[in-house]
Amino acid sequence: MATTSHDHPVYVIGGGPGGLAAAAALRSRGVRAVVLEKSDAVGASWRSHYDRLHLHTTRRLSALPGLPMPRSFGRWVARADLVRYLEKYAEFHELEIVTGVEVDRVERADDGTWLLHATGGRRLTGRAVVVATGFNHTPRLPDWPGLEAYGGDLLHASAYRNPEPYAGKDVLVVGVGNTGAEIAADLAEGGAARVRLAVRTVPHIVRRSTAGWPAQRTGILVRRLPVGLVDKCGELMARLAVPDLSAHGLPRPDTGLYSRVREGAIPVQDVGLIDAIRAGRVEPVAAVESFEPGKVVLADGTHLSPDSVIAATGYRRALEPLLGHLDVLDDRGRPRTTGPKSPPNAAGLYFTGFTNPISGMLREIAIDAERIAKHLAKPHEKRVASKG
């Protein structure tokens, strides 16, 4: 009997929350999905995040399809509990997961199937592919002049675990996204002698919850409202809930909260930064401009010689080697389509986890998983019905 594209499984690249959710949603619709994960276990990125990390989104609004998180995890789920949840999730949904397999390249075959090149010369044929390799794939360091000659201790935030190695030290944290803000607070609370925080763009800071109401719920409610209106409400909320830190070197931002979100900058959820700045335990300083041997040069001309520099300067998607040749990425290297929409020139190729909405990425991942599965299952369901 001749094989058809539907005899091949759907390959899901990446065994993080995005890949697991998509595989579970597919399986629940009777579509065989095989997850390929390059590390030796699911949830690899969560295994290596810093120790004190808790979700900034609520337990209920962060669960993946088909399995709630236990109440015992509390409202703000700890990193280790999220890892346990992902392990349980894979087991509960009986997902087919192959670990230790990295996909290097994805190609379209003439018959409409997808050919995956993977570790050890493997060639795998799928009827469709879900790319879930992560928004935070590869640590990004800016192209700072003079960095090679710096010679001091410098690491990317992805390698930071806890404040222990920095006790009694002078540390410069670069970048005030959620990660930089939390690491600065962690260092200040954990015994560093001096913590400075280099700020290029003043962030919007929001309380994780106000009178029991989580910031994430507001994010969900306002998501579809006009940007200008949300900016105005955000400004009002900030004046009511967040103290003015101008005297401490962190003025209020001059562009609206939602305008920034639309440019890709999620507000910083306060988990200790405000108190640390007010107490003088974290000192905001100007952006890092360049390096000299043994010195960091700031945009205002100040030269610093910290014991360590921690660069919380973000990540790259790094999709080019995998998919760059397929003309499915935009000029910033992000997929042109996400969720249930495949790029018009690449039917059967799906992306999940590549948007960073104000409503929470895990929630988005859960929604996208169901949509992708529904879309992918359609022809399959029709085929099964027509056979019967």
In the complex, what is the shortest distance from the CB of residue 233 to ligand FAD, in angstroms, rounded to a whole number?
Answer: 22
In total, the chain counts a number of residues equal to 388
CA atoms lying within 13 Å on the CB side of residue 153:
14
Nearer CB in complex with ligand FAD: 133/313: 133
Helix (H, G, I), strand (E, B) or coil at 45: helix
* Position of minimal CB gap to ligand FAD: 16
Nearer CB in complex with ligand FAD: 286/318: 318
Nearer CB in complex with ligand FAD: 105/200: 105
As a whole number of Å, the CA-based R_g of the chain is: 23
In the complex, what is the shortest distance from the CB of residue 53 to ligand FAD, in angstroms, rounded to a whole number?
Answer: 6
Nearer CB in complex with ligand FAD: 295/336: 336
In the complex, what is the shortest distance from the CB of residue 358 to ligand FAD, in angstroms, rounded to a whole number?
Answer: 11
Nearer CB in complex with ligand FAD: 285/362: 362
CB 286 within 8 A of CB 299: yes
Farthest-apart Cα atoms in the chain, separation: 76
In the complex, what is the shortest distance from the CB of residue 290 to ligand FAD, in angstroms, rounded to a whole number?
Answer: 27
Extended strands (E) in 100-250 = 103-108, 114-118, 122-126, 128-131, 138-139, 153-156, 170-174, 194-199, 205-207, 209-210, 213-214
Helix (H, G, I), strand (E, B) or coil at 291: strand
* Distance from C-alpha of 44 to C-alpha of 21, rounded to nearest angstrom: 15
In the complex, what is the shortest distance from the CB of residue 112 to ligand FAD, in angstroms, rounded to a whole number?
Answer: 22
Q: Which residues bind ligand FAD (CB under 6 A)?
A: 13-19, 36-39, 44-45, 49, 53, 55-57, 62, 102-103, 132-137, 179, 322, 353, 360-362, 365
In the complex, what is the shortest distance from the CB of residue 304 to ligand FAD, in angstroms, rounded to a whole number?
Answer: 25
Nearer CB in complex with ligand FAD: 122/248: 122
